[in-house]
Amino acid sequence: MSNKEYKRVTTHTLLEMKQSGDKISMLTCYDYSMAKIIDYSGIDIILVGDSASNVMAGHETTLPITLDQMIYHASSVVRGVKRALVVVDLPFGSYQSDPNEALRSAIRIMKESGAHAVKMEGGSEIKDSIIKILNAGIPVMGHLGLTPQSIYKFGTYTVRAKENEEAKRLIEDAKLLDNLGCFGIVLEKIPAAVSKKVTNAISSPVIGIGAGSNVDGQVLVTHDLVGLSTEFNPRFLRRYVDLNDIMSKAIKSYIKDVKSLNFPNKKEQY
Ligand code: KIV
């Protein structure tokens, strides 16, 4: 494993990292202030995920978020980032109907937000759209396994590809995305043995979330990692800090100080 320091992260950097065995770190982000913290900390990929629909807007699923809203989040993130590769989810409804619409949506994201790549959920069924977008020079990241935009088809957020047939289809889809030229693939909530097979079978980096350790990198939703979201507790999640508790203590102290005339003090006024 090399300890090479990477400058601006590009899709080529990620390929090099896979080849040299350096693990890739990826986190979600939806705003400028958080983007500065995450980027400065040295993350490799920042994903402006459509999980903004849940985390930022309080929706139950990722389906309601619009292309305009994704562009707003993405442009805020891009302004805070100096090093990481910024990838933006194409939201539900912006690419499924036909390849021309998919390309128009991807172009809007690249042009209006300044991001570096797009991510799309699905395999062979969106092949033509992926080809169209790649042909326009836009890097595409795939997303297989539990694909939250299809939650109403699955009916549940449970582990995917547990059965042989679904696992075989997923591996075939991963090979297809790799052959088409996707620069990476996110695998969400699938057995570790299946993600290991995918990682060994394809040349592009595999980033897992709930997909075990035999992959090229890991991604989490930042709000889950720092304890800002409290209701979501899947087995794969590790909380590194309880910001919910820290923030609510600080806010309670502020309220107490306001009520007791302890804030502002003499030094805090003009
Ligand atoms: O939208 C998102 O946050 C994602 C990650 C869970 C990979 O797609």
**Catalytic option among 5, 125, 165, 188:** 188
3-state helix, strand, coil in the chain (%, to 5): 45, 15, 40
Ligand 1 atom nearest residue 26's Cα: 7
> Which domains does the chain show, CATH number per domain?
11-239 (3.20.20.60), 242-270 (no CATH)
**Distance (Å) from CA 253 to ligand 1 centroid:** 34
55 lines ligand 1 (CB under 6 A): no
First to last CA, the chain: 56
Residue partners of 42: CB distance under 8 A and separation at least 6? 25, 83
Position 6 scores a pLDDT of 57
Tell me if 54 CB under 6 Å of ligand 1: no
CB atoms within 10 A of CB 78: 18
Does ligand 1 come within 6 angstroms of the Cβ of 186? yes
Whole-number Å distance, alpha carbon 148 to ligand 1 midpoint, is: 8
Q: Would residue 30 be called left, alpha or beta, if left means φ above 0 and alpha means ψ between -120 and 50 degrees? A: alpha
Tell me the pLDDT tens digit for each residue of 140-164: 999 999 999 999 999 999 999 999 9
Residue 85 tokens read as 């590769």
> What's the token pair of residue 120?
């799309």
Ligand 1 center to residue 213 CA distance, Å? Answer: 18
Q: Indicate which residue's Cα is closest to atom 4 of ligand 1.
A: 49
CA distance 187 to 105: 23
What confidence tens digit (pLDDT) does each residue in 199-249 have? 999 999 999 999 999 999 999 999 999 999 988 899 999 999 999 999 999
* CA max distance for the chain: 70
Please state, in angstroms and rounded to a whole number, the distance separating the CA atoms of residues 78 and 62.
Answer: 21
Tokens of 268: 């805090």
pLDDT at 231: 86
Bridge pairing between strands 45-48 and 24-28: parallel
SS3 227: coil
188 belongs to the catalytic site: yes
pLDDT < 70 stretches in the chain: 1-6
Q: CA–CA separation, 28 vs 12, rounded Å?
A: 21
